[in-house]
Chain A
Amino acid sequence: MKSPEIKKLIRDSLDGKSDAGNIPGSLELAGVSYDFSEGFNEKIMRRLSGASLTIVRDTEFKRSLNYAFYRIALTGAAAIIILMISIFIMQDSFSFNSFLGLGDSYDESIVYLLTGN
């Protein structure tokens, strides 16, 4: 396609009322085509592999940390409950109120319960 024809295509694209749908096709036939260099896809995929690997590792670490914290918290809570129950049973003062910390327990009795003196 000669230069005047290309110029005509450019002018046509500037006419807001006309349909520009077939202009890119005509330009491509005239040799006006755009693309990225060879290996473009590979470069992107390499960049993304690096990024996603970091994300996956980060996510896995967070998940493991959450799991470990969950296990430790549950075990700790269970140990505290068992300890409380065993102390109440040993002192023969097990009741619903004492379990919830209600009622009239004095400071001295708490010290006694905890230290045994």
Chain B
Amino acid sequence: MKESFSLAGDDELVKASLDGDKLAFSEIVNRYRKMVARTVKGMLGDSVYSEDIGQEVFVNLYNSLPGFRGEAKLSTYIQRIAINLTLNEIKRRKRFFSMFSHKGSDEMSEYEIADPENEEKREAKEVVNKALMSLNPKFRIIVAMRLLQGYSTKETAEILDLPLGTVLSRLSRAQEQLKGILEKL
């Protein structure tokens, strides 16, 4: 068994994880936890629910590794799991709130700043979070992919399994939605 996998490639890590090497899987978690955090927390806000979804993403990844054929990059594969689980959570919240409240899921967009380093940084994070949370989840995921992950529109379309035209039109609609919101912030 290899002592450290920090220099290993993704393929090697997947293979070793499939052979039952826990260190290798731990390295995958370490390598992609920030990426998953950007997607999950960008979509759900910075709350304890996001931590749970983050854990679910990696547990799901572990369970589905035997089916991973390596056709897509590991990061894309993880990103898809993260997006699916996050969207499921948003749907679940919507159902829950439509049953018990008339206020809608926006109530859940409350978030807490875990690490308020200084006023400027706190403000920056607040602006980004508020802007993202004000968007419809359909548009939010696309903006999060661009803003927080830096994906091109083509990559975004690929990861979300959407036609490029749909991504572009949703971006333009998000632009319209955000126009007024950003002015108020």
Q: Which residues of A contact B (CB under 8 A)?
A: 1-3, 6-7, 9-11, 13-16, 19-25, 27, 30-37, 40-41, 43-45, 47-49, 51-52
Contacts and interface: CB of A to CB of B under 8 A. Distances in A.
A52 B20 contact: yes
A34 B63 CA distance: 25
Given A34-B42, A48-B59, A16 B174 contact: no
A41 B36 CA distance: 13
Interface in B12-58: 20, 22, 25-26, 29-30, 33-34, 36-38, 41-42, 46, 50-51, 54-55, 58
B124 A32 contact: yes
Given A3-B127, A14-B175, A34 B146 contact: no
Given A21-B150, A24-B147, A36-B54, 12 more contacts: A9-B147, A10-B128, A10-B143, A16-B168, A22-B150, A27-B124, A36-B36, A36-B50, A36-B51, A37-B114, A40-B55, A48-B25
Nearest to A5: B124
